Amino acid sequence: MKTKTTQFHVAEHLSSPEEMAAYLEACIEESNGDAAFIARALGDIARAKGMTQVARDAGLSRESLYKSLSGERTPGLDTVLKVITALGLKLHAEPAG
């Protein structure tokens, strides 16, 4: 008997702002400073919310947003901040330790 597997898409499981924030927080903690990893996580959240709407709210083209959040390159901080705001999330800092 063969085992059938399917691809897991995290965007299908992010349905609330709390889940999206928790996912992003976990990805930031696991990233080890890999900005492309965080960009991919933002892409997952944007797909869960609807890439077209996020692009519109961020003031970016949909195509540009897909490229920026693909994880194949590192988006600029201005793009990251626009996307975080468009997603309805906040970025904050706290002391390490």
Q: Write the pLDDT tens digit of every residue in 31-70.
A: 998 999 999 999 999 999 999 999 999 999 999 999 999 9
Q: Residue 1: its pLDDT value, please?
A: 87
**Residue 93 clears pLDDT 90, i.e. is over it:** no
Please indicate whether residue 51 or residue 73 has the higher confidence score (pLDDT).
51
How many Cβ atoms sit within 10 Å of the Cβ of residue 48? 21
How many Cβ atoms sit within 10 Å of the Cβ of residue 51? 17
Q: Residue 54: its pLDDT value, please?
A: 96
DSSP E strands in the chain: the ranges are none
Query: In this structure, are residues 6 and 48 in contact, taking their beta carbons and an 8 Å threshold?
Result: no
Overall residue count recorded for the chain in this entry: 97
Q: What pTM does this model have?
A: 0.89
